[in-house]
Amino acid sequence: MSDKLLHDFKLNEQINIPALIKQVVVRTAKTGKEYLAIVFEDKSGEMEGMYWGVTPDEIKVFVPGVIVQLHATLQIYQGKSQLKITNLKRLSTDAEFKPSDFVAAAPIRRQQMEEEINQILFSITNPEWNRIVRYLLQKYHEQFYNYPAAKKNHHAYTGGLAYHTLSIIHLAQRIGPMYPQINQGLLLAGAILHDIGKTVELSGPIGTLYTVPGNLIGHIAIADAEIVLAAHELHLDENSESILVLRHVVLAHHGLLEYGSPVKPALLEAEVLHQLDELDASIEMFTHAANQTEPGKFSDRIYALDNRMIFHPHDLE
C-alpha cells in the first residue's frame, strides 16, 4: 500500500490508497447499465473517478462519507485528471480511519481565528452592526468555524469559511488607511457576515453537499434573512438606514446579478467587499491549482476561473 496521496500520483500510475468518498452520482451508460461517478477526497484535494459495472448492493454501500480502499489508474479524460477505478472496498471507521483524517483543514488553528475575529469586533463601533454581528456569530458559532467556504471551488476545507472571512478582514485592514473615505466598521461587519449564509447553505465539512435551503434560496438570501431575524430579536428597526446599508453590503457582495447578487453594489463599501471577496477567492484557486500541478505544466481547466488552465512555472527568482 502506498503512502502517497491522491495528487501525488502521475499519469498512468497505479493507485492503491484509502480515500474518502465526497460525492456520488448514479448514472446510466449507453448500454443501460448503471455506474458511479465518484469524487474522492484526501488531504491533498479531490479527484473524480468512474466506477463501471456497479452492482445494486455497491450503490447502497458507496455513499458520501464512506472511507474506501481505492484501486485505480490515473488518466486524462477531456483534458482533466480522472481515475479509472478497478476496485473499491469499504473500510471500517475504526481508530485507524476517520472521515476527518481525509479532509483538508485551514492553515491556521481554529483558536487563532476565533481570537482574531473576536478582536475585530471592537473595531465595529456602530452599535447596531456590532450587535447583529455578535448575535449571528454566536448563533452559528460551531458551523462558522468548522464549515468550508464552498463545496468545491475555494477554501473547500474544514475551517475554510472562517479562514476566508479572516483573509478578507486582513485585506480590509490593509486598504483602510489608504482610503479614509471607506467606512471601516461597515466594511468589517459586511466581511464577517457576507458568507454567514453558508452555515445553512452547506451540509458541513465532510461530504459537503448543498442543503435544501441552499439549493432553493442560496447563501446570499439566507444571510439577508438572518440579518433581518437578528434585528427582530434585538429589537432593531430592519428598515433603518443603518440596517439597510449592512444588508446591502451583504446582498451585493457577488457584484453582478448573474453571479447571484440580487443587487449591484451601490455603496463604496459594497464594491470594496465584492472586490476583496473576488481577490481572495481567486488567489486561493490559483494557489490550489498550482500546488496540484507539476512545474512547467498547466493545470486542468478550472470552471470557476472561466475554464482557464493555470500554469505552474519553475522556481522564479
Query: Quick one: pLDDT at residue 178?
Result: 96
**Predicted confidence band at 94 (pLDDT cuts at 50, 70, 90)?**
low
What is the pLDDT at residue 49?
94
Q: What is the pLDDT of residues 142-194, one digit of tens each?
A: 999 999 999 887 898 999 999 999 999 999 999 999 999 999 999 999 999 99
Domain residue extents for the chain = 6-101, 104-287
Q: What is the pLDDT of residue 116?
A: 97
Residue 317 has pLDDT above 90, yes or no: no
Q: Are strands 80-90 and 45-51 parallel, antiparallel or unpaired?
A: parallel
For the entire predicted model, the pTM comes to 0.86
**6-101, which class in CATH?**
mainly beta
Domain at 104-287, CATH class: mainly alpha
> Tens digit of pLDDT for each residue in 20-79?
998 899 999 888 899 999 999 998 888 999 999 899 999 999 998 899 999 999 998 887
pLDDT in tens, 205-236: 988 889 999 999 999 999 999 999 999 999 99
Is pLDDT above 90 for 293?
no
Residue 202, strand partner residues: 210
What are the Cα distances from residue 317, in Å, to 79, 283, 313?
A: 30, 20, 11
Question: Do the Cβ atoms of 40 and 63 come closer than 8 Å?
Answer: no
- Give the residue-averaged pLDDT of 103-110: 92
What is the rounded average pLDDT of the residues 226-255?
A: 97
List, for residues 109-155, the tens digit of each pLDDT value.
999 999 999 999 999 999 999 999 999 999 999 999 999 999 887 89
d(CA 245, CA 250): 9
Q: State the pLDDT confidence band at 302, using cuts at 50, 70 and 90.
A: confident
Going from the C-alpha of 246 to that of each of 124, 126, 167, 213, the distances in angstroms are 12, 11, 20, 22
